[in-house]
Each structure stands twice: as structure tokens, then as C-alpha cells.
Structure 1
Amino acid sequence: MTVTPLSAPPPAFDLEKVLASIDTMAAQRPVAAQVVTVANGEDTSAKVLSRILASDVALATRVMKLANSAYFGMRGRVTSLQFAVTVVGFTTVRTMATVALTELDDESRLPENFWDVTTCLALAAATLAPRFGERPPDALCVGLLAQMGAALLHHNDPDGYAELVAEHPDVTGRRAAELRRYGVHSVRLTAVALEQWGFPHSMTGRLNQIDDFTSLEGGLLRAAFEVASRLTADDHDPVPIMRLTCGQLREDDLVPVLDSVRADADELRRAMLGE
């Protein structure tokens, strides 16, 4: 099949400028920005974090909805913001604040099907995490933020990136196309942004190892992307899961994962977007 080159020339891609644009967004969401900073502090308590969070009603509401979702098994029992922060954990609250300050909650400014893929990606990562010796809540956060770089590329080059996504529905091939066009692919861009904000290596390392197929560290995220692709891309050609995970998973292992993610994805999406 002949692939037509992108009609729009690539923009001059300035990584520092893109990262600086996040700081500009953060200035417009000061509470979310403060949560991102404070949640990383060793002396931060759930009481302190919930008090800050309460100043952003939309963000606080999302944290409450997530705490009461089926994922955390506390449906209807979380009635205070402080308890919600305790239930979901500081890393998850920080992740949700990052979603808000980078405008990932504004679907009009995102690549097509962004949240359909992201919720499947996050739930798949969380479900598979124990097989890789990881904590499910931490894996959920990696999955929720993994596509942030794609949103930033879309912000910087909306028409060109939309064409790129249309021409490369497969996420692995898309990363190669992103690298050719921008000099950095979206998952690496996510890692750079999170490193700048002081997110731990336990999160950024998974992102940086995604294309090293000999690395088990990147295997969880590769498997999660494969699950998301199987659930959201009509023409996806399945990649053998053993190859993606250094033999850690077999095809049979994915059957219950696909069912679980399919069942819970819509509720997670609503909680993240405040719907």
C-alpha cells in the first residue's frame, strides 16, 4: 500500500518551547499546579492535600468520582475529600492534577479517540501490574499519562499530527513516524515532561524503555498498549504478547484482561473527565 506523505511540512519543533507551554497552562490552573508540586513532598498529608484540592471544585469532584468508582471498590462509601485522597493515593491525585493542568481534560484539543485509548491503556497496565512486580495504582498512573506527549505534539502541530495519526493507526508505527517528523516520539516526550516535574523513575523508566524489546521494564506498558489497540483499533494486527513482554505473558493471559478493561473503561473515562 502506498502511503501519501503528510501534506503539511513539519513545524520547527522546539522541545524547550513545548515544555515551557506547559508552564503557561499551569499558570491558568494554579491549584492543579500546586497539587502536582505539593503531592511530591515528604511532609504532605492527606489533610493538607485535600485542603488544597478543595479550591478546584472540578478537580476535587473528579477525585471523589474516581475514589467511588468500581476500580477502587469503594462505590458510594467515600464521602469526604480527605478520605478520597487516601483511597486513591497521592500519586493518583498528582496524576489527575497533571491531566488538568496540561488540558488533557479538554477533548476538543486532543487527538481523536485520545481518552478511549488512554482509559484502556491505564486499566490494562493496572490489571497486568502484578505480573511485572508493580503496584496497580502506580501502573494506572503511568497508563493515564503515557499519551500526554501525543497531546503536546497535537497542540504544537494539530493538522499535521491529525494526519500522522490517521496514516499510522498502529501505535508502534506511529512512534516511528513521530520520531521522523519531530525528532522525539510521544511517549519519550511524556517521560521528559514528567522528569522535569520530578515524577519518580518508577514512572518515567517504564516510558523510556517502551521501545527496548529486550527490557522487561518496558514490557508492562507495551502490553498495555497492545490491549488498548486490540480494544480500540478496528484494523489492528495483533502483536504476539510474548514478544512484547519478554515471555512474561501468554495470549491466554490476556483474555480476562480484555474483558475487565472493556467492562470498566467507560466509568474510568467519566471519572477522569468529570462527566
Structure 2
Amino acid sequence: MTVIELDLDAVLDTLDQMSSQRPVAAQIVATSNNENCGASQLAAILGADITLAAKVMKLANSAYFGLSGRVRSLQFAVAVVGFNTVRSVATVALSGTDEAQTVPDGFWKTSVHLAAACGALGPQFDERTADAMCLGLLAQLGAALLHQADPEGYVELMSRTDFGMRRFEEEARRYGICSTQLTAEALHQWSFPTEMVDALREVRSGDQGALLRTAYELTARSLYTRHRRTPLERLSQGKVTDAQASAKLAAIKDDVETLRSAMGL
């Protein structure tokens, strides 16, 4: 196996360069980190980008947030979905991962499943559903960055590894960092909450990574028939059992369709 010396600083610099191309998205990410920022201020910034504003409005009015058709103003929409969700939607635009040619095959299908899985599991890990959903939605940003840095090599790596923990191990061997840990460094650079960054950094081991580890396993079971299963009890530190898998997978399937429609993915 060829080992690639990944220039982490150069990879992260490409994200900063995109800020000038997506000024509203960059301003949302920066502003939402300010503790003094309110929903009205964030809504005013969001309103300058019709596409982002429409996505937030559609999410707020989706069944996922339980207020179908009742959210009429952008300020109310921001309050309903929460700052983390608005920031995550803006980050997708800022990173360029909403452009199909920049990401691996199946990227968004997998990301929406991860978002749904994290959201469905969140309460069992003492996480708000919306915040957990954002963690899953953004988790694969690092995979997109690895794909951009090493297109042929990363596609080959994907073809011979199971989605989830085994792929993380191969990524770490080839690049010195796995995809979710690379996502963590990107979100840390953009001043995302420490809890989200730590969950991504500890996905291979560590208490904070249990929710995301479990979500990756359930996503793999949903999408890949040949996936070699890892017991949920081990990944979740006992918070989710294999006896609960069928019910969880059914809930995730329902949420996937809602999120995909609401986010236009």
C-alpha cells in the first residue's frame, strides 16, 4: 500500500480560499460562532443568499422538525432548526461539497443516511436530535477533501474497504489521518463547537466518538449488503444493542427521505 504524505495545512487552506467565493456562507459560519448573535441577526445575513435561505426554510417546514408548513419567516426558521443547523447548511456550501463533481460517488446518499442515523440515535447519547443530525451531515467533509487530494487513490481505497471503522483504519495508514479526523480539523479551523470537533476526532476510539461510530455502522448496514457487521454494543459503549437495530434502521429510513427532500440532496 502506497503511503501519501498529506499536507494538512495545504488541504485546509483550500477551504479558506473558498470563503471569498461564498461570502454569505462564510459570514454565516463566522457570525453563528458569536455568542452575542441572535436569530434576527443570523436571519438577516442568511437572507442575502436565496439558495441557503430556501434550504433553511424548507428544513424548518419539514416533518423532521415537526412544524410542517407553519414556519413563515426566516427568523422563526433559524430559531426552529437552531444555529448549528444553519451553520452546517452554510458549511456545506462553503466547502463546495454541494457540487457533485468534487465528491466521491455516493457521497450525499451516504451523508444523508449518516445525518438521519445520528439524529435518530442522538437522544440515547444525551444529544439534541438537530445537533446530532448536523454531526452526521458534516462527518464526511474529510472524505471529500481526501478525494480531492488523491482522486484515484481514494477511489481505490473506497473500493476495497468496508464503510466505517475498517475504512478509517485504511485512511489513517495511507494519509496519516482518517476522514472524520480531517473533518474535525476543518471544523476546528472554522470554530465549530468543541463537542462536535471532539466527537469527530474520537471516532476510532474514545467516549465522544461513540454516537458517530454507531451511526456509521447503521449507515453501512442500510447501504451495503456485504458489510461485515460490528456489534452495536461495542461501538456504542452499550447504549445501543443489536436487538434494537431493526427499529433504528426503520426510523433512519423514514428520516432519510424527509431530510433528502428538505435539503434538496
Same fold (TM over 0.5): yes
TM-score, normalised on structure 2?
0.95
- Offset from partner CA, 1:133-164 (integer Å, 9 cap, x none): 11111111111111110011111112221111
Query: Secondary structure of the residue that 2:207 maps to in structure 1?
Result: coil
- Offset from partner CA, 1:10-60 (integer Å, 9 cap, x none): 654210000000011121100000000001111111111111111111111
Deviant stretches of 4+, over 6 Å? none
C-alpha distance in 2, partners of 1:110/1:123?
20
Q: Report percent identity of matched pairs.
A: 47
Instruction: In structure 2, list runs of 5 or more residues that go unmatched.
Output: none
Q: Tell me how far 1:267 sits from its aligned partner.
A: 2.8
Match of 2:248 in 1: 257
Aligned pairs for 1:123-272 (under 5 A) are: 123-212=116-205, 215-272=206-263
Which residue of the other structure, out of 50, 63, 67, is the alignment partner of 1:74? 67
After superposition, the CA RMSD in angstroms is: 1.4
Instruction: In structure 1, list runs of 5 or more residues that go unmatched.
Output: none
- Offset from partner CA, 1:114-148 (integer Å, 9 cap, x none): 11111111111111111111111111111111111
C-alpha distance in 2, partners of 1:218/1:47?
33
C-alpha distance in 2, partners of 1:246/1:29?
40
| Contact 1:153 1:161 survives alignment (8 Å) | yes
Query: Secondary structure of the residue that 2:104 maps to in structure 1?
Result: coil
Identify which range, 183-192 or 215-224, moves more after superposition: 215-224
C-alpha distance in 1, partners of 2:58/2:109?
18
State whether structure 2 residue 88 is matched by structure 1 residue 99. no
Query: Secondary structure of the residue that 2:233 maps to in structure 1?
Result: helix
Amino acid of the residue matched to residue 28 of structure 1? Q
Q: Tell me how far 1:217 sits from its aligned partner.
A: 2.2
Match of 2:81 in 1: 88
Which residue of the other structure, out of 3, 24, 27, is the alignment partner of 1:34? 27
